Amino acid sequence: MNSRFERSPRPNKRVVVTGVSAISPLGLNSEETWKNALRGQSGIKKITKFDTAGYDVTFAGEIQGFTPDSWIEKKEQKKMDTFIHYALAGTKMAMEMAQLKISEDLAPKVGVIIGVGMGGLPVIEEQYSKLKERGPGRVSPFFIPAVITNLAAGQVSIAIGAKGPNYSITSACASAVHSIGEAYNYIRSGICDVMITGGSEATVCPMAIAGFAAMKALSTRNDSPETASRPWDKDRDGFVLGEGCGILCLESLEHAEKRGAPILCELTGYGASSDANHFTAPAPEHEGGQRAMLLALKDAGLSPADINHINAHATSTPIGDGLESLAVKKVFGEAAKKVWISGTKSMTGHLLGAAGALESVFCILSIRDQIVPPTINLNNPSEDCDLDYVPNEARTGKINHVLNNSFGFGGTNGSLIFSKLS
């Protein structure tokens, strides 16, 4: 056989995190977001983006004070929905932390995978109104590229000159975890040296609030938004919609060390699975979630007892939280009682396709600073939720390995493991 077509064995390179960013209801960068998360501050407030009169739910985790002007030229901004603005700003912040510059030689070995759950729903609403009120000639020529999910990764790739793989993964609320996991695979296989990855979402808008409320998925605690997201609490009544992004710079350890990059931690495990059960409800005993965690542990070469902390999916729904707790018990056995578990959606709300990215940032900073954020609003755990959920106050301790779970509609599950570099 001509050697040109022979398959060469793939290396198994170690993958590290050299930069992160966050734009969230808790802050406009990773450090502000992290500081407020450790304080147990809620980012959930009354909605200001539109008039909520007549809506069953009137609150969300909105981004306050963000402007894309520092990151995107004015003339380019109108070509993009807000989820793309977040992705571009987040990428540039993460690259700044990583001290990463993309040379012409490096560009083909830099990829971009950014998870997006729903894409440009606010622009769809806006342009549909123009269509109905003023006719088809008034629809923007930028409408399509502003709303399709892959333009988060596409616009980032263009902006930074990354010429490796470039696409978005859409797998509901697991989009970001799957994106980070697949980016990890590109590096450890030797295809890429650097990956920009994570998730971005901006769907605090009328259709999303009305749609999720119609499903009875959202909390209706309109009189107390700050206490509405309450994972594992017996009075939990649904999730709170949030928005924002989390972006990670991943590199091979070899590449990061060669250029003297700051290294925050190592990404050591990834697992993905399907429930094949129901389009919204988890499988009995969250069997799919169990398998995602077990696959991540196997990939990392770790036992459940090695995990010090879990940033759980923990959406604050009556069914989901109890089943996730059961899944942890099934996977961890006796170690389930010892692992610290945080439900940070209690502070940020549920960022849908970006949730796993923001929560990965929390995992990474937990390892960096040896502290884990709390689950706020947890005053009376329900009977089926009897593990250590780090209630209401952050906790310091030895944090070597952290597990991050994300589960989504369609029965899709993803788990990541981040580890202190050894």
Q: Which residues pair with 248 in a beta bridge?
A: 20, 197
pLDDT tens sequence for the chain (422 residues)? 444 556 556 679 999 999 999 999 999 999 999 999 999 999 999 999 999 999 999 999 999 999 999 999 999 999 999 999 999 999 999 999 999 999 999 999 999 999 999 999 999 999 999 999 999 999 999 999 999 999 999 999 999 999 999 999 999 999 999 999 999 999 999 999 999 999 999 999 999 999 999 999 999 999 999 999 999 999 999 999 999 999 999 999 999 999 999 999 999 999 999 988 988 788 788 889 999 999 999 999 999 999 999 999 999 999 999 999 999 999 999 999 999 999 999 999 999 999 999 999 999 999 999 999 999 999 999 999 999 999 999 999 999 999 999 999 888 999 999 999 98
> Do residues 270 and 291 lie in contact, with contact meaning Cβ atoms separated by under 8 Å?
no
In angstroms, how far is CA 14 from the centroid of its own chain?
22
The answer to whether the beta carbons of residues 80 and 151 sit under 8 Å apart is yes
With CA atoms as reference, report the closest residue to 306 among 329, 339, 284: 339
The predicted pLDDT at position 121 comes to: 96
Q: Report whether 168 contacts 155 (CB < 8 A).
A: no
pLDDT of residue 132: 95
- Could you please state the CATH topology (level 3) that the domain comprising 271-419 is classified under: Peroxisomal Thiolase; Chain A, domain 1 (3.40.47)
pLDDT for the residue numbered 68: 95
3-state DSSP call for residue 309?
strand
Rg over alpha carbons for the chain, rounded to the nearest Å, is 21
Q: Which CATH number fits domain 16-258: 3.40.47.10, 1.10.3720.10, 3.40.50.300, 3.10.290.10?
A: 3.40.47.10
Strands 59-60 and 110-115: unpaired
Q: Tell me the one-letter amino acid at 141.
A: P
| Number of neighbours of residue 262 by Cβ within 10 angstroms | 14
Active-site residue set: 173, 313, 350
Q: How many CB atoms lie within 10 A of CB 324?
A: 29
> What's the pLDDT at 369?
98
| The predicted structure's pLDDT at residue 282 | 83
**What is the distance between the alpha carbons of residues 95 and 91, in angstroms, rounded to a whole number?**
6
User: Is-same-fold flag (16-258; 271-419)?
Assistant: yes
pLDDT at 1: 42
Please answer whether residues 15 and 250 qualify as being in contact, where contact means their C-beta atoms are separated by less than 8 angstroms: yes
- Contact partners, residue 136, CB within 8 Å, separation at least 6: none
Domain ranges of the chain: 16-258, 271-419
Nearest to 116 by CA among 280, 352, 411, 405: 352
Distance of alpha carbon 89 from alpha carbon 86, whole angstroms: 5
